[in-house]
């Protein structure tokens, strides 16, 4: 069972860093009197929930440090407890909207705050129940599909040998990261890993880049230079898209594979080089041999140990773990309000074919994290079309959406556009109502409304503040 812990952070000099006992009864409460102390505690352990206890003295203080803290620790569900006048200030309102899942106003209503904490803890428990991505050594190996599990086993076996490796995979499937995994698991892991894109180096320069040159070998060669192969001494060299290597260079590479020596351009003596060659191609080299654009002898020299990197189409069950992994990896780039993927976005990710493989998934997730306008990424943010249901299901879904929207409109009208009263009328929380408003494109109230309903004990009107 998840431990019910909460971090209580003081914002302001005169705040009493004490959450009401009735609201946090049964919780493990950790307290931080400063933002620096809060940052230390958040780095030391994971908190599902956090309380920001704000006093009026904090209203005029700069918010940059607090904004950075909340942005860096966005996976914590934050609830702000602050005076109503502070909430009326635009900067504070924006900060609460960007980073907090809920808020409460002074004086504290223990019953309401206890409900908000319990609801937030329930959401945190649901998030924790989702299986975490595989924490492998390399991002490309994230996932538990049979295809990627098989590849991981093959990498461990291949890494133990010293023969050349030939990796095949579609463009963007992660061939270089598979090569890095082979190097990382091998006895050469302490040596350099030198990647070379054979298709990106001009044909006139590729020989000097790979094998180096001596002083005076050509005009402008003022001093000798080691080639990329020589610079990988004791490690591994990764020749990506080796099918693009010119035929004359293929002969030089074959000599190096056979003799483990190279000749610098302009040199008359050989240099011994201890380097493991890992090559990769997105084209079928066997077909290239038959077409006469790739040397047959070089193909057989390289194709000693073969690895096939699966496309995303072959590892559908890894799509969402990969998307979540990249969401966390690039979390510093996301818009502040964006917290994750909606159910519709997750379904669109599962149903898309991903012709660009992992590279396309990374690009779409990064773009969605910046461009999303809501708290959750939707299919349109990813540039994907939502999956259409069959006609009968679509009609039922449309009817349900219309009924839901009509009920929300009627409840807001009865409540005088008061979010708290409307949420109570509908039997949902304020945050659920805000999500429903965003879902249906209904403008949320833009003013601060004070509830006039009596509290649970029949006493004076409550002082909770609602609205955006």
What pLDDT sits at residue 356?
Answer: 92
Q: Please state which architecture CATH assigns to domain 146-309.
A: 3-Layer(aba) Sandwich (3.40)
Please give the CATH number for the structural domain made up of 313-382: 1.10.8.60
Rg over alpha carbons for the chain, rounded to the nearest Å, is 30
Task: Answer for the pair 198, 206: CB distance below 8 angstroms, yes or no.
Answer: yes
What pLDDT sits at residue 455?
Answer: 45
What pLDDT sits at residue 20?
Answer: 60
What pLDDT sits at residue 51?
Answer: 82
What does the alpha-carbon distance between residue 89 and residue 206 come to, in Å, rounded to a whole number? 62
Q: Half-sphere exposure (CA, 13 Å, Cβ side) for 56?
A: 5
Which residues, 6+ apart, have CB-to-CB distance to 77 below 8 Å? 48, 49, 50, 101, 120, 123, 124
What pLDDT sits at residue 50?
Answer: 84
Chain centroid to Cα 331, Å, comes to: 6
What does the alpha-carbon distance between residue 251 and residue 257 come to, in Å, rounded to a whole number? 10
What does the alpha-carbon distance between residue 180 and residue 99 come to, in Å, rounded to a whole number? 37
What pLDDT sits at residue 368?
Answer: 92
**What's the DSSP call for residue 59?**
G
What pLDDT sits at residue 303?
Answer: 92
Q: Half-sphere exposure (CA, 13 Å, Cβ side) for 371?
A: 12
Task: Answer for the pair 462, 107: CB distance below 8 angstroms, yes or no.
Answer: no
Task: Answer for the pair 141, 148: CB distance below 8 angstroms, yes or no.
Answer: yes
Which residues, 6+ apart, have CB-to-CB distance to 157 below 8 Å? none
Looking at domain 1-129, its CATH superfamily turns out to be: Response regulator (3.40.50.2300)
What is the full per-residue pLDDT of the chain (468 aa) written as tens digits?
A: 456 788 888 887 655 555 566 566 777 888 888 888 888 888 888 787 888 888 877 766 678 888 888 877 877 888 888 888 888 888 888 888 878 878 888 887 778 888 888 888 877 777 655 444 443 334 346 778 888 889 999 999 999 998 999 999 998 888 998 999 999 999 999 999 999 888 788 877 888 888 888 888 787 778 888 888 899 999 999 999 998 888 888 888 888 888 888 888 888 888 899 999 999 998 889 999 999 989 999 999 999 999 999 999 888 888 988 998 899 888 888 877 788 888 888 889 999 999 999 999 999 999 999 988 877 888 999 998 765 545 555 566 667 777 787 788 778 877 777 888 888 888 888 888 887 887 776 777 654 444 444 444 444 444 444 444
Domain ranges (residues) in the chain: 1-129, 146-309, 313-382, 394-468
- Fold identical between 1-129 and 146-309? yes
- Tokens 């879904």 correspond to 397
CATH topology of domain 394-468: Arc Repressor Mutant, subunit A (1.10.10)
């Amino acid at each position: 069972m998840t431990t019910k812990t909460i971090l209580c952070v003081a914002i302001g000099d005169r705040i009493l860093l004490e959450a009401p006992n009735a609201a946090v009864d049964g919780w493990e409460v950790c307290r931080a009197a400063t933002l620096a102390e809060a940052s230390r505690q958040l780095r030391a352990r994971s908190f599902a929930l956090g309380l920001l206890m704000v006093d009026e003295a904090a209203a005029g203080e700069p918010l940059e440090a607090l904004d950075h803290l909340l942005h860096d620790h966005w996976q914590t569900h934050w609830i702000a407890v602050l005076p109503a006048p502070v909430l009326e200030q635009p900067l504070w309102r924006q900060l609460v909207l960007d980073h907090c899942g809920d808020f409460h106003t002074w004086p504290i209503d223990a019953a309401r705050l206890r409900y908000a904490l319990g609801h937030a803890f329930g959401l945190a428990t649901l998030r924790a129940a989702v299986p975490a991505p595989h924490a492998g050594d390399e991002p490309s190996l994230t996932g538990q599909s049979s295809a990627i599990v098989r590849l991981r086993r093959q990498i461990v076996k291949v890494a133990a040998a010293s023969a050349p490796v030939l990796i095949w995979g579609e463009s963007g499937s992660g061939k270089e990261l598979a090569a890095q995994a082979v190097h990382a698991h091998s006895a050469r892991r302490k040596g350099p890993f030198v990647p070379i894109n054979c298709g990106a180096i001009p044909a006139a320069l590729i020989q000097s880049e790979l094998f180096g040159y001596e002083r005076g070998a050509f005009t402008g060669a003022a001093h000798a230079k080691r080639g990329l192969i020589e610079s990988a001494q004791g490690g591994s060299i990764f020749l990506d898209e080796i099918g693009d290597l010119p035929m004359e260079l293929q002969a030089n590479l074959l000599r190096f594979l056979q003799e483990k020596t190279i000749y610098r351009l302009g040199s008359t003596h050989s240099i011994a080089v201890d380097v493991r060659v890992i090559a990769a191609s997105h084209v079928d080299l066997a077909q290239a041999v038959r077409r006469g654009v790739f040397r047959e002898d070089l193909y057989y020299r390289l194709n000693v140990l073969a690895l096939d990197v699966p496309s995303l189409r072959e590892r559908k069950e890894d799509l969402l773990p990969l998307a979540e992994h990249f969401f966390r990896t690039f979390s510093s780039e996301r818009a502040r309000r964006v917290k994750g993927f909606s159910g519709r976005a997750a379904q669109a990710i599962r149903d898309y074919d991903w012709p660009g493989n992992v590279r396309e998934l990374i690009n779409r997730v990064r773009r969605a994290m910046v461009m999303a306008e809501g708290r959750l990424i939707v299919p349109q943010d990813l540039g994907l079309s939502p999956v259409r249901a069959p006609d009968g299901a679509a009609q039922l879904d449309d009817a349900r959406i219309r009924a839901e929207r009509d009920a929300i409109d009627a409840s807001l009208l009865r409540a005088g556009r008061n979010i708290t009263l409307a949420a109570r009328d509908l039997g949902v929380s304020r945050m659920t109502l805000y999500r429903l408003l965003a879902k249906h494109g209904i403008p949320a109230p833009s003013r601060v409304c004070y509830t006039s309903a009596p509290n649970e004990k029949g006493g004076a009107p409550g002082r909770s503040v609602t609205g955006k």
